[in-house]
Amino acid sequence: MAHRLLRDAQADGWERSDFPIICESYLGDNPYVRMLRAEYDKECKICARPFTVFRWRPGRDARYKKTEICQTCCKLKNVCQVCLLDLEYGLPVQVRDTALAINSNDAIPRSDVNREYFAEEHDRRARAGIDYDSSYGKARPNDTILKLQRTTPYYKRNRAHVCSFFVRGECTRGAECPYRHEMPETGELSQQNIKDRYYGVNDPVALKLLSKAGEMPSLTPPDDETIRTLYIGGLIAE
């Protein structure tokens, strides 16, 4: 990327933005949030292009959060710039695409040159007023999406990291320690890859949710389409 420093940032498609595209959960419950904004501070972890990075603390007891991917990659998948979960349903990409029958694994190139050209082409279309060519927002949510979606902010994502000294039994700060005194999670959920989550492949969190969805009871429509009777039970009369 060193040779690109000699070129014009705007002409090169580097991203400059005034506000991040993030989940409501990462804003915290405090209506006043102070953000640090740094132009071209990091490379996007998907397309490797420099972009404007935002860093903030969503609450007094929360850890600092920052954007991980650029807004171009964010809009292409309709995901949060921090957690890469779907902005509308709060679900991993793999769960959303599987439930809505959207095949987007091959939509974004994987190679460096093709991926960069693809992102710059979409930026050019956006500046020209042409909407992103995306299937997201066009498919209606089905029963699986409605059962798994998160409808309220989940502020536990902002909790402090686990204290590594506590895990080793060496933390001496006690209640004054700014980190969590609990044992970390182990297993597949602790081995997550940001690119796998973005492209929707081999995501352990998504596989767990899909397994949960398969165990949920569902209503099967009768073969006789003339049947219009619906029974509702278990209600308490007041």
Q: Which residues contact 137 (CB under 8 A, 6 or more apart)?
A: 78, 88
Specify if 120 maps to a domain. Answer: yes
Specify if 11 maps to a domain. Answer: no
Reference 104, options 88, 92, 116, 120; nearest CA is 92
Q: What's the structural domain count of the chain?
A: 1
Q: pLDDT tens digits, the chain, 238 residues: what are they?
A: 444 554 555 555 677 889 999 999 898 888 888 999 999 889 989 888 889 999 999 888 888 999 999 988 888 888 999 999 999 888 999 888 888 877 665 566 666 667 777 777 777 766 666 555 555 656 677 777 888 888 888 888 888 888 989 998 989 988 888 888 988 877 666 677 888 888 888 888 888 888 887 777 766 777 888 887 877 777 777 6
Reported pTM: 0.74
Specify if 192 maps to a domain. Answer: yes
Reference 69, options 101, 21, 19; nearest CA is 21
Instruction: Answer yes or no: are the C-beta atoms of 93 and 206 closer than 8 Å.
Output: yes
Specify if 46 maps to a domain. Answer: yes
- The boundaries of the domain holding residue 131 are 24-164+177-215
Specify if 134 maps to a domain. Answer: yes
Q: Token pair 């596989």 is at which residue?
A: 207
Residue type, 18: D
Specify if 226 maps to a domain. Answer: no
Specify if 75 maps to a domain. Answer: yes
